[in-house]
């Protein structure tokens, strides 16, 4: 099967899974316009939104990349904005052929207009319930200064709504500036409460951050691509059956790698590491899941069966219930045509 034929088959896939997707990085222009109108917020023209939201060539690093979230975050500070943003996003994902998604956001970043963290989460769950997409929310704790109390509150809220729309917690933010090792107590607390978690590591920071995430007990790593710099770490990841949530275009946008072929996707697969392919921030990176799958397939000469395996990796590593996993696995297998 040549690349054109493979791309056509991927385009026809309609039972896809997305595990690493940030709400504020996934607001399409149409979604921005819809939620701005509901909130009576004046926003720039479409072209101007693209300029302020989308990463262009020359982005220096993750810290510069994170500046692109200021505009979408300004639209996600009210209950109506959050609820409708989640609903609209999930409807868009359905149109893109996605049948299960995990959407992550940091409740503490949505409190600038008076909402508390619990109200933020309730609003997001309400948006979930308005869409037919099978989904779960992942609540992000944030790296930073003087926000330990806010992070602990995020965990308590995650516990309260676990299984009611929320499935896990995460740690996000400026990874190199705020080391993963400094957040051990967050994950010990989550472990005590029985809350699953994934951790951003091995992207802006190197293998040491992944070692810390594994030491905390995480079975999923957000990005994790720089694990390849330590052969022993790669062996540990494979042996412990840890899944990496790889986001190829995002890694280019944040200048972790210069081009797709530099990302160690094939190396991980050859060493028995389970990976998934995700968009991370599709609006900021101007991508979609099918585009990511085609990029990876073409760059690394993957087969259609390889792409299906990546999708099966995703649902098996997801925080979905056993019933949802079984249903989605059966639907993915229908892609065998």
Q: Residue 65: which of 12, 105, 25, 29 has the closest Cα? A: 25
Find the catalytic residue in 90, 203, 291, 292: 203
Residue 67 token pair = 């500046």
Output the CA torsion sign for 286, 291, 297, 299: negative
CA 132 from centroid of its chain's CA atoms: 20
- Please, are residues 333 and 315 in contact by the beta-carbon 8 Å criterion? no
How far is residue 63 CA from its own chain's centroid? Answer: 17
DSSP string, 147-204: -HHHHHHHHHHHHHTBTTTEEEEEEES-TTTS-GGGGHHHHHHHHHHT--B-EEESSS
Of 93, 6, 26, nearest to 296 by C-alpha is 6
Residue 203 annotated among the catalytic residues of the structure: yes
Residues 6+ apart with CB under 8 A from 171: 140, 141, 142, 143, 180, 183, 186, 187, 197, 199, 200
Residues 6+ apart with CB under 8 A from 169: 138, 139, 140, 141, 154, 155, 158, 186, 190, 195, 196, 197
Residue tagged 């979930």 (tokens):
128
Cα–Cα distance, 47 to 49 (Å, whole number): 5
User: Do 155 and 166 meet the contact criterion of CB atoms below 8 Å apart?
Assistant: no
Which residues are identified as catalytic? Answer: 203
């Amino acid at each position: 099967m040549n690349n054109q034929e493979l791309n056509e088959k991927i385009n026809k896939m309609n039972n896809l899974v997305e595990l690493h997707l940030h709400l504020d990085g996934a607001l399409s222009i149409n979604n921005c316009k819809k939620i701005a109108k509901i909130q009576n917020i004046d926003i720039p023209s479409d072209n101007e939104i693209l300029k302020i939201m989308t990463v262009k060539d020359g982005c220096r690093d993750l810290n510069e990349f994170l500046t692109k979230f200021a505009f979408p975050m300004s639209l996600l500070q009210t209950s109506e904005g959050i609820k409708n943003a989640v609903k609209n996003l999930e409807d868009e994902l359905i149109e893109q052929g996605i049948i299960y998604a995990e959407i992550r956001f940091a409740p503490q970043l949505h409190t600038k207009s008076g909402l508390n963290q619990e109200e933020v989460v309730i609003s997001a769950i309400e948006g979930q319930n308005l869409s037919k997409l099978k989904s779960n929310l992942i609540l992000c704790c944030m790296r930073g200064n003087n926000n330990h109390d806010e992070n602990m509150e995020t965990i308590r809220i995650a516990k309260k709504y676990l299984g009611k729309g929320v499935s896990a917690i995460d740690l996000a933010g400026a990874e190199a500036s705020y080391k993963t090792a400094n957040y051990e107590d967050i994950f010990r607390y989550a472990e005590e409460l029985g809350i699953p978690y994934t951790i951003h590591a091995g992207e802006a920071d190197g293998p040491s951050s992944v070692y810390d995430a594994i030491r905390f007990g995480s079975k999923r790593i957000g990005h994790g691509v720089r694990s390849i710099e330590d052969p022993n770490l790669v062996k540990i990841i494979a042996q412990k059956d840890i899944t990496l949530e790889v986001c190829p275009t995002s890694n280019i946008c944040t200048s972790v790698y210069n081009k797709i072929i530099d990302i160690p996707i094939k190396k991980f697969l050859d060493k028995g590491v389970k990976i998934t392919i995700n968009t991370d921030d599709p609006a900021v990176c101007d991508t979609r899941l099918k585009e990511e799958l085609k990029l990876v397939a073409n760059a690394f000469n993957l087969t259609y069966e390889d792409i299906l395996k990546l999708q099966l990796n995703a649902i098996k590593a997801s925080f979905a219930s056993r019933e949802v996993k079984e249903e989605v696995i059966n639907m993915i297998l229908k892609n065998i045509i």
